[in-house]
Amino acid sequence: MSVILPALRAALEAAPTVHFTAPDPDLGLGHYAGEVTPAGRHRAWGTWVDLADLLGAHLLTPVSLPGGRVRLGLRRWAQAPDPDAGGYGPEGGWGRVDKLEDPVFLFTLQEALRRVAPPPGGRVLALGVNAGRELDALALTFPDRALHVTGLDLDPDAVAAARARHPGGHFDVRDVRALPDETLGRFDLVLALSLLQSPGIRQDVLISALVRGHLTVGGGLILGFPNARYRDGTLSYGARTRNYRRPDLSLITADVTDARRRLHKHGFRVFVTGKYELLVTASRA
């Protein structure tokens, strides 16, 4: 890999697409990554997926070749001034994304929901709900447990889309920075996915408002922190900031650690899980 990495980086700088051959990863099952086999050095499919992401490229569909080899291709991501460009709301760039199509996120979110385990007929508060796609995970996780959902978002179009998707829920145009709001009442579960790092939101203030003003005695929270960016339609692992090409994980670790510490002080058990979005799950002992 110490030879392949610089060679592919140079090739992608010279051309948008690069093709090469490698030993078929499927023929090396049971071997360690990098182990020498009769067909050559074994590298699993995950190695090539990670390499493509590191080089800012898509891994194209492999083609089987005779002699236990495959033809691989990398296509460089399209250049964009801002990988998060496209705007908020159902018609914006983020509105195109259905995070439940990411199996890691779906599995992790369901695991978090089961940890909080709102009771049958329980109340759920979703903040920054956008089009409400992530709320589909509630019925998937608890098919026999009717839950009453309240969703808040600043974008009127997002609220309209969430109402259309979940006609049984209650959705309002509201600024979460104004919480707590006694008119909302208390909830058995609070969801805040990809919200706490939004401009103008103070994590410490919002967490305190939710815990003190909107949770039932046995209620819990699931807070999501993005650990990826969409680049040319593909999830790219790692928290990034503007003007930095590679991730700086100190940003997300600081936010997650702060949330975990604050929730511990309020007497919660806290779990941190996930990959492309880190979920901080807080449940009562």
Q: Is the pLDDT of residue 46 over 70?
A: yes
Whether 27 has a pLDDT exceeding 70, the answer reads yes
Classified as helix, coil or strand, 78 is: coil
Per-residue pLDDT tens for 51-61?
998 898 999 99
What is the fold, at CATH topology level, of the domain defined by 94-284? Rossmann fold (3.40.50)
Query: Of the spans 18-32, 73-87, 131-145, 233-247, which averages the highest pLDDT?
Result: 131-145
pLDDT at 35: 80
Q: Which helix (H) or strand (E) holds 36?
A: strand 36-37
| pLDDT higher than 60, residue 148 | yes
Alpha carbons 263 and 254: distance in angstroms, whole number: 14
Map residue 267 onto helix, strand or coil.
coil
Per the CB < 8 A criterion, the answer to whether 180 and 215 are in contact is no
For 118, which DSSP code? P
- C-alpha separations of 193 from 129, 151, 266 in Å: 8, 12, 20
| Average pLDDT over every residue of 243-266 | 87
Residue 134: the pLDDT is 95
Predicted model pTM:
0.86
- Residue in 272, 127, 128 with CA at minimum distance from that of residue 283: 272
pLDDT at 199: 80
pLDDT score, position 79: 67
CA distance 260 to 6: 39
pLDDT-derived band of residue 254, with 50, 70 and 90 as boundaries? very high
Residues of the chain with CATH 3.40.50.150: 94-284
42 falls in which pLDDT band (50, 70, 90)?
Answer: confident
pLDDT for residue 263: 97
Q: Which amino acid is at 141?
A: T
Q: How far apart are CA 179 and CA 174, in angstroms?
A: 9
| Stretch 248-274: mean pLDDT | 93
Q: Is the pLDDT of residue 250 over 90?
A: no
* The pLDDT of residue 243: 61
Encode pLDDT of 174-217 as tens digits.
999 999 999 999 999 999 998 988 888 999 999 999 999 999 99
What is the rounded average pLDDT for all residues in the chain?
89
Mean pLDDT of 274-280: 94
Instruction: Provide the percentage of residues in the chain whose pLDDT is more than 70.
Output: 91
